[in-house]
Amino acid sequence: MKSYIAAAIQMTSLPDLQKNLVQAEELIDLAVRRGAELVSLPENFSFMGEEEEKIASAEAIGLQSEKFLKTMAQRFQVTILGGGFPVPTEGGKVYNTCLLVDPNGTEVARYRKVHLFDVDVPDGITYRESNTVKAGEDLPSVYVSPELGTLGLSVCYDVRFPEVYRHLSYKGADILFVPAAFTAYTGKDHWKVLLQARAIENTCYTIAPAQTGRHYGRRQTHGHAMIIDPWGTVLADAGEEPGVAIAEINPDRLEQVRRQMPSLQHRVFI
């Protein structure tokens, strides 16, 4: 593992696949021009609209999203995480799928979101992700990259379930991805502290690309795509506008924190 620049992209995705992919490409280009070798896109990067419309277009969204990620990775010669897009499954639902692609355009890891967001938020909005999404059944993957470190996948609501990240750290993760479309209401209180907790307790870098702003109807997201170091220090925060959070991933810093705070070695219950 070497030192390198990582990017967490922040988008305001809409119910328009092509416009979203154009926005994503522009932000990937910006990240690469700033030196990024590892680029991550948020949950719902390619489509964010009404559930009925998502289901009706799921096959096209899934195919074009996957093709887009592979094309961008090859074109820019970077590793890219696509934080979440629908892939049709039997029974009329979709998997909320996270995909990691290497610079050759080869899929190296795939994760189907396990924890579905079925929540009555105190602002009066109800979310029932399980109405259209089928939960994945497998623990998230890690991908071992000699240059970038061991990368662990998750999606959004997973961040509230620390056992997911303990599993990833047990598998050797150096980097925890948390691509998200966090609600504006919950994000203001929980987003940053949850990301810091996952980084601190697992002594890992945490990379969290995010959705921001108003998307459709009453759907509004928190923003603040972040990169956090293993001590819990926020290295980059994209704020509330579309853009890119950029920071260095440094293996020496990772080793230093793990040496000074060897909590992973002190685990009693695994």
Angstrom distances, CA of residue 119 to CA of 89, 124, 126, 157, 193:
23, 10, 6, 10, 19
For residues 230 and 253, give the distance between their C-alpha atoms in angstroms, rounded to a whole number: 8
Quote the CA–CA distance of 101 and 247 in Å, as a whole number: 20
Contacts of 63 (CB under 8 A, 6+ apart): none
Q: Which CATH architecture has domain 4-262?
A: 4-Layer Sandwich (3.60)
Is 113 among the catalytic positions?
Answer: yes
Q: Is 156 a catalytic residue?
A: yes
Q: Which of 54, 113, 134, 192 is catalytic?
A: 113
Q: Residue 18: how many CB atoms within 10 A of its CB?
A: 9
In the chain, the amino acid numbered 269 is: F
219 vs 86: CA distance, rounded Å: 18
pTM over 0.95: yes
**Phi, psi for 192 (deg, rounded to 5):** -65, -45
Length of the chain counted residue by residue: 270
At residue 90, the pLDDT reads: 87
What are the pLDDT tens digits along the chain (270 aa)? 999 999 999 999 999 999 999 999 999 999 999 999 999 999 999 999 988 999 999 999 999 999 999 999 999 999 999 999 999 998 899 999 999 999 999 999 999 999 999 999 888 888 999 999 999 999 998 999 999 999 999 999 999 999 999 999 999 999 999 999 999 999 999 999 999 999 999 999 999 999 999 999 888 999 999 999 999 999 999 999 999 999 999 999 999 999 999 999 998 987
Question: Of the listed 54, 70, 98, 156, which one is catalytic?
Answer: 156
Q: Which of 43, 66, 70, 134 is catalytic?
A: 43
